[in-house]
Protein backbone atom coordinates (compact mmCIF):
# COMPACT_ATOMS: atom_id res chain seq x y z
CA UNK A 1 0.00 0.00 0.00
CA UNK A 2 1.29 3.45 -0.93
CA UNK A 3 1.85 6.02 1.75
CA UNK A 4 2.35 9.76 1.75
CA UNK A 5 5.70 10.61 3.33
CA UNK A 6 4.87 14.27 3.96
CA UNK A 7 1.09 14.52 4.45
CA UNK A 8 1.28 18.24 5.33
CA UNK A 9 2.25 18.85 1.71
CA UNK A 10 -1.18 17.52 0.64
CA UNK A 11 -3.49 18.40 3.54
CA UNK A 12 -3.54 21.24 6.05
CA UNK A 13 -6.05 22.67 8.51
CA UNK A 14 -6.10 26.43 9.05
CA UNK A 15 -8.04 28.35 11.69
CA UNK A 16 -8.94 32.00 11.03
CA UNK A 17 -11.14 34.83 12.24
CA UNK A 18 -13.45 36.66 9.86
CA UNK A 19 -13.18 40.41 9.36
CA UNK A 20 -16.33 41.02 7.30
CA UNK A 21 -14.49 42.65 4.39
CA UNK A 22 -14.02 41.38 0.88
CA UNK A 23 -10.53 40.23 -0.05
CA UNK A 24 -9.64 38.69 3.33
CA UNK A 25 -6.57 36.54 2.52
CA UNK A 26 -6.17 33.35 4.54
CA UNK A 27 -2.54 32.19 4.44
CA UNK A 28 -0.39 29.56 6.09
CA UNK A 29 -1.76 26.60 4.17
CA UNK A 30 1.61 25.86 2.57
CA UNK A 31 0.20 25.26 -0.92
CA UNK A 32 -2.60 26.38 -3.23
CA UNK A 33 -5.58 24.21 -2.27
CA UNK A 34 -7.40 22.27 -4.96
CA UNK A 35 -10.25 21.35 -2.64
CA UNK A 36 -11.36 23.46 0.32
CA UNK A 37 -13.95 22.85 3.06
CA UNK A 38 -14.83 25.86 5.26
CA UNK A 39 -16.94 25.70 8.42
CA UNK A 40 -17.80 28.46 10.89
CA UNK A 41 -16.79 27.32 14.39
CA UNK A 42 -18.43 30.05 16.46
CA UNK A 43 -21.93 29.72 14.95
CA UNK A 44 -24.15 27.25 13.14
CA UNK A 45 -23.69 28.40 9.55
CA UNK A 46 -23.57 25.66 6.93
CA UNK A 47 -20.19 24.44 5.71
CA UNK A 48 -19.16 25.22 2.14
CA UNK A 49 -16.91 23.21 -0.17
CA UNK A 50 -15.01 24.72 -3.11
CA UNK A 51 -12.72 23.14 -5.67
CA UNK A 52 -10.60 24.29 -8.56
CA UNK A 53 -12.77 22.45 -11.09
CA UNK A 54 -15.95 24.38 -10.25
CA UNK A 55 -14.05 27.56 -9.40
CA UNK A 56 -14.57 30.14 -6.69
CA UNK A 57 -18.14 31.09 -7.65
CA UNK A 58 -19.65 27.62 -7.23
CA UNK A 59 -20.02 25.94 -3.84
CA UNK A 60 -21.24 22.65 -2.50
CA UNK A 61 -23.13 22.55 0.80
CA UNK A 62 -22.55 19.11 2.35
CA UNK A 63 -25.33 19.50 4.93
CA UNK A 64 -27.98 19.58 2.19
CA UNK A 65 -29.02 17.36 -0.69
CA UNK A 66 -28.75 20.26 -3.13
CA UNK A 67 -26.27 20.13 -5.97
CA UNK A 68 -23.75 22.85 -6.51
CA UNK A 69 -24.88 26.48 -6.36
CA UNK A 70 -23.53 29.80 -7.53
CA UNK A 71 -22.37 32.04 -4.71
CA UNK A 72 -20.15 34.87 -5.90
CA UNK A 73 -19.58 36.60 -2.55
CA UNK A 74 -18.00 33.74 -0.57
CA UNK A 75 -14.68 32.91 -2.25
CA UNK A 76 -12.46 35.27 -4.19
CA UNK A 77 -9.47 33.10 -5.15
CA UNK A 78 -7.29 30.09 -4.53
CA UNK A 79 -3.84 31.50 -3.69
CA UNK A 80 -0.31 30.09 -3.62
CA UNK A 81 -0.34 29.80 0.22
CA UNK A 82 -4.08 29.57 0.91
CA UNK A 83 -7.19 31.32 -0.34
CA UNK A 84 -9.10 34.60 -0.20
CA UNK A 85 -12.68 34.88 1.03
CA UNK A 86 -15.37 37.43 0.21
CA UNK A 87 -17.96 39.09 2.45
CA UNK A 88 -20.40 36.19 2.89
CA UNK A 89 -21.05 35.61 6.60
CA UNK A 90 -20.71 31.84 6.22
CA UNK A 91 -16.98 32.28 5.48
CA UNK A 92 -16.06 35.77 6.72
CA UNK A 93 -18.37 37.30 9.32
CA UNK A 94 -16.59 39.88 11.47
CA UNK A 95 -15.12 38.36 14.69
CA UNK A 96 -16.46 34.85 13.93
CA UNK A 97 -14.01 31.94 13.92
CA UNK A 98 -13.63 29.42 11.08
CA UNK A 99 -11.83 26.21 10.21
CA UNK A 100 -10.65 25.48 6.68
CA UNK A 101 -9.57 22.00 5.63
CA UNK A 102 -7.35 22.24 2.56
CA UNK A 103 -6.35 19.46 0.16
CA UNK A 104 -3.80 19.46 -2.62
CA UNK A 105 -5.12 17.03 -5.19
CA UNK A 106 -3.29 17.73 -8.44
CA UNK A 107 0.33 16.70 -8.48
CA UNK A 108 2.35 16.29 -11.65
CA UNK A 109 2.13 12.50 -11.33
CA UNK A 110 -1.63 12.69 -10.86
CA UNK A 111 -2.02 14.97 -13.90
CA UNK A 112 0.12 12.66 -16.03
CA UNK A 113 -1.96 9.64 -14.98
CA UNK A 114 -5.14 11.55 -15.82
CA UNK A 115 -3.79 12.50 -19.26
CA UNK A 116 -2.81 8.89 -20.02
CA UNK A 117 -6.18 7.60 -18.80
CA UNK A 118 -7.96 10.25 -20.85
CA UNK A 119 -5.99 9.30 -23.99
CA UNK A 120 -6.72 5.61 -23.41
CA UNK A 121 -10.41 6.41 -22.92
CA UNK A 122 -10.50 8.44 -26.16
CA UNK A 123 -8.80 5.64 -28.09
CA UNK A 124 -11.20 3.06 -26.63
CA UNK A 125 -14.17 5.28 -27.39
CA UNK A 126 -13.01 5.79 -30.99
CA UNK A 127 -12.64 2.02 -31.50
CA UNK A 128 -16.05 1.40 -29.92
CA UNK A 129 -17.67 4.01 -32.18
CA UNK A 130 -16.13 2.47 -35.28
CA UNK A 131 -17.36 -0.98 -34.23
CA UNK A 132 -20.85 0.42 -33.58
CA UNK A 133 -20.93 2.06 -37.00
CA UNK A 134 -19.80 -1.19 -38.65
CA UNK A 135 -22.54 -3.08 -36.80
CA UNK A 136 -25.16 -0.57 -38.00
CA UNK A 137 -23.97 -0.98 -41.61
CA UNK A 138 -24.02 -4.79 -41.32
CA UNK A 139 -27.51 -4.76 -39.79
CA UNK A 140 -28.78 -2.41 -42.51
CA UNK A 141 -27.29 -4.64 -45.23
CA UNK A 142 -28.93 -7.71 -43.67
CA UNK A 143 -32.29 -5.95 -43.40
CA UNK A 144 -32.08 -4.69 -46.98
CA UNK A 145 -31.24 -8.20 -48.19
CA UNK A 146 -34.34 -9.52 -46.40
CA UNK A 147 -36.66 -7.05 -48.13
Q: Identify the pLDDT of residue 110.
A: 45
pLDDT tens digits, 4-39: 677 788 899 999 999 999 999 999 999 999 999 999
Helix, strand, or coil (residue 143): helix
Which residues make Cβ contacts (< 8 Å) with residue 30, sequence separation at least 6? 8, 9, 12, 81
Using a cut of 0.75, tell me whether the model's pTM lies above it.
Answer: no
In three-state secondary structure terms, 43 is coil
With contact defined as beta carbons under 8 Å apart, do 45 and 30 qualify? no
pLDDT for res 111: 47
pLDDT digits (tens, 9 = 90+) for 79-115: 999 999 999 999 999 999 999 999 998 654 444 444 5
Indicate the domain borders of the chain.
7-106, 107-147
CA distance 106 to 33: 9
Counting Cα atoms < 13 Å in the Cβ hemisphere of 40 gives: 19
- How far apart, in whole angstroms, are the C-alpha atoms of residue 65 and residue 94? 28
Question: According to the model, what pLDDT value does residue 113 have?
Answer: 46
pLDDT of residue 112: 46
Amino acid sequence: MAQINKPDEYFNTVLYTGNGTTGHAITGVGFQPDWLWIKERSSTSAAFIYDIIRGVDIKLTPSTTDGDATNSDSMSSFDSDGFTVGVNNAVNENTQTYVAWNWLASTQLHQTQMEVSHQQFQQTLQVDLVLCLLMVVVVEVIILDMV
